[in-house]
Structure 1
Amino acid sequence: MKRRTLSLALGILLGLAGTANAQPLGAGITQNMAGLTALPLEAGTLPPPSVRNGQDIFASFRAGLAEPTCDIEATSPRWRKQFAHAPARLANQNDDALVLFGYVVEELRKASLPTEFALIPFVESGYRPNARSNAGPAGLWQFIATTARNHRVPMSEGYDGRLSAVDSTQAAVRYLKTLHGMFGGDWRLATMAYNAGEYRVLQSLRKAGMNSSNARPSDLPGLSPITYAYVEKLHALACVLENAEEQPSVMASLDRTVPVLKSHTLPAGTSVQQWAAQRALDPARIARLNPAASNSGARPKGAPVRLLAPVNPMAATAAVAQVGSGTATAAVATVQPAPDATHTVASSADRPRNRRHTVRSGESAWTIARRYGMPVKALLSLNGLSGKSVLKPGAVLRIED
């Protein structure tokens, strides 16, 4: 089917094949550890979280869903099959998907947007920053060039900001924020508009005599089958990830420490390889996360080159090395990981036997359910709660009937 484009429409790319030999950022930052010491902090300041547990990323995604529960049998078997690999991608320690997913989830949470939108890069690019389509779209979010320029993604001769995970994600979040507000907070309508263009969806709503408050997205007239399928794909993928909670091997693999990523400015005259090496990061892997800055020496006109890398590269390098290799303990003894960064799921023999639990500050349904070795859905159901419920310190939850 021929791709249709509008000035504000995004291109679609489904199931892009990834590089066969991709390696995880976590693996890369365990190298070059000799002589590494922690940097001192100013008095009275706390270090930003440098690492987090993969299960906490998953929990943040689940907590941010507009529809926290779903009936997986009501979703399309075709799309469930197509995206059945997604939990394994996140669980795979030889893949960058989890750290990139964590970055996108937190950018959406900061913008108060549903985390269903964090699934778009799974559909569009397979969460690969260097993904390209012969039809023109590129990057995590598969922007076409016109759309990228319209959303302030740096584009100039020799430099393609669509391949910047930072610039493209920030542009996508801004656009999704606009669409989410335009369509009354309906994530399905916003997703359809993201795919087909907002003007087409608005026109379809007018033809159907609907508005954002009473719209039935699947009944909107005159849109491409690809647009209807787009919503179905995201919904099926959300259900696949939700049900990954019932896969012990996946959840156990997610229970690992990964670095928190953020945007860094690449100084003029410094290459990605030099910048990474100065911070004891593996240059090849940082280059893989930042193909826009790595493919050529060109720079965007009037804009800095922004890299996606650990929040505090030195601390993240040390913390992940300590957890991952067990050989760098002496070098990182003064580095403090983020809370819960290195915990593991308790064995059945070690789990508490209390029938009630009093919520403490900072606890979530996910952490409490894991503490007692039960599914989140079971904990919520037992206490008459939903995925959107806020647990207040001091509240008492039932753990067993």
Structure 2
Amino acid sequence: MSRRSLPLALGLVLGLAGTAGAQSLGAGISQNLTAASALPLDPSTLPAASVRNGQEIFSSFRDGLAEPTCDAEATSPRWQKQFAHAPSRLANQDDDALVLFGYVVEELRKANLPTEFALIPFVESGYRPNARNGSGPTGLWQFIATTARNHRVPMSNNYDGRLSAVESTQAAVRYLKTLHGMFGGDWRLATMAYNAGEYRVLQSMRKAGMNAQNAKPAGLPGLSPVTHAYVEKLHALACVLEDVEDQPGVMASLDRTVPVLKDHTLPAGTSVQQWAAQRALDPAKIARLNPALAAGNRPSGTARVLAPVSASSANVADIASTTVATALASTASAAPSPQVAKVVASAADRPRNRRHTVRNGESAWTIARRYGMPVKALLSLNGLSGSSVLKPGAVLRVED
């Protein structure tokens, strides 16, 4: 039984039996849990998911694209060749690219933005939070200092928030959301504005007599070739990643469990390495994900560290699980009534659910993970292939 299922099991025993024996058992447990009454045993207060499959990240990226199909005619072989290494970066278990890519994709989807924007850090920094450019741009999103300050990224003499994947990503998402709305939901125009500045793109559109509804990004005059190439690079990257589905080796490497990342508060007086060690996390990896904090530098306000979701809930879950186990052990000497035993036995004997109805937003990866089975097994069980589209309402056979 998992830690999250403990409250449900207790509810089954205490709420359904309705006998004096059950009440006695419940009272005993209640007394032993009094000291733990403030613990968040309600599953809704715990993270929805602390891990996910790498293929699920890839699927979420594909589902969020504004242009889900590669336009071969608009794709430059030069840029496809330059970014041909991107899939291997995501597939490399020793690289942080996949977990960071998953974090950025999730932040964009929460903001209802096209996931083409998740390719910007590939172009800008190669998905390396500590990337620095000699001319000034820094971090995952390669902000210059002026742009960073304009978008509320904390910067001081002893702290550069551009090196924080949390601070820079949240600033980038805010900025891209503004640009996306400003340019009528056209991800290409928004991307050009991200590279060249919104005022240059607006000026170019006015010169060409275009507006957000009829603008042709490739035909905008007066913009740097670098800005036009920027859009071409992102589209080429999207095409490279689309081709991954035809590379069994890469897809197999993506079929692994990786942590879901979120930002946590770093207590005052605690280094990021100490914080990681206290939570049984790899201090070197957490420092690598948080170069802004790795040298002991801190912002004047609250410091934020990017780490697995489970970093803040694992200890609470361990305490809760131990407390419930202790409570159950202390009441074990009192035999439950026959009615209670019957309820528990009937629950154990109940046949498992072998069907799953597909809901909006679900993919083969999310469904397979939910039932603890390999994606290939789910697809094979239902006569599907990796390219099959799951429609809401479809009923699948599953193994739980």
TM-score exceeds 0.5: yes
| Runs of 4 or more consecutive aligned structure 1 residues displaced over 6 Å after TM superposition | 314-317
In the superposition, relative to structure 1, how do residues 232 and 107 fare at CA in structure 2: closer, same or farther (>3 Å)?
same
In structure 1, runs of 5+ residues without a counterpart are: 1-39, 318-330, 335-356, 381-389, 397-401
Structure 2 match to 1:247: 247
Q: Is the 8 A contact 2:121 2:140 kept in 1?
A: yes
Residue number in structure 2 paired with 1:158: 158
Say whether 1:307 aligns with 2:305. yes
Compared CA separation, residues 73 and 91, structure 1 to 2 (3 A): farther
Aligned equivalent of 1:188? 188
Note the C-alpha offset of 1:74.
4.0
Q: Distance in 2 between matches of 1:216 and 1:224?
A: 15
Do 1:62 and 1:68's aligned partners in 2 also have CA atoms closer than 8 Å?
A: yes
**Corresponding residue for residue 76 of structure 1:** 76
Alignment match, 1:349: none
Matched residue, 2:146: 146
Give the drift of 1:362. 6.3
Contact map agreement 2:129 2:139 (CA 8 A) in 1: yes
Report the CA distance between 1:304 and its aligned residue.
1.2
Amino acid at match of 2:385: M
Q: How does 1:130-279 map to 2 (within 5 A)?
A: 130-279=130-279
| Partner Cα separation in structure 1 for residue 171 and residue 250 of structure 2 | 31
Asked whether the equivalents of residues 108 and 114 of structure 1 are also in contact (C-alpha less than 8 Å), the reply is yes
Could you say which residue in structure 2 is the equivalent of 1:280? 280
Structure with the higher fraction of residues in helix conformation: 2
- Looking at structure 2, the residues matched to 111 and 45 of structure 1 have their Cα atoms a distance apart, in angstroms, of 22
Q: 1:338 maps to what in 2?
A: none
Unpaired segments ≥5 residues, structure 2:
1-38, 316-321, 326-354, 368-374
Match of 1:120 in 2: 120
The Cα of 1:70 is off from its aligned counterpart by 1.2
Q: Percent identity at matched positions?
A: 73
How many residues are paired up?
A: 308
After TM superposition, give the deviation of residue 110 of structure 1 in Å. 0.2
Asked if 1:42 corresponds to 2:41, the answer is: yes
Deviation (angstroms), 1:294: 1.0
3-state secondary structure, aligned to 1:307:
strand
- Give me the whole-angstrom Cα distance separating, in 2, the residues matched to 1:247 and 1:41: 44
- Residue-by-residue CA offset, 1:105-152 (whole Å, 9 max, x unaligned): 000000000000000000000000000000000000000011100100
Structure 1 residue 236, shift from structure 2 partner: 0.4
Normalised TM-score (structure 1): 0.72
Report the residue type matching 2:297 in the other structure. A
TM superposition shift of 1:315: 6.8
Output one character per residue of 1:313-359: Cα deviation in whole Å (capped at 9) or x when no partner: 27779xxxxxxxxxxxxx9xx9xxxxxxxxxxxxxxxxxxxxxx985
Secondary structure of 1:269's partner? coil
Alignment RMSD, CA only? 2.5
Q: Residues 286, 119 of structure 1: CA spacing in aligned structure 2 closer, same or farther, 3 A cutoff?
A: same
Given that 1:358 and 1:393 are in contact with CA atoms closer than 8 Å, whether structure 2 keeps it comes out as no
Alignment correspondent of 1:374: 385
Structure number, greater radius of gyration = 2
TM-score, normalised via structure 2 length: 0.72
Contact 1:124-1:140 at 8 Å conserved across structures? yes
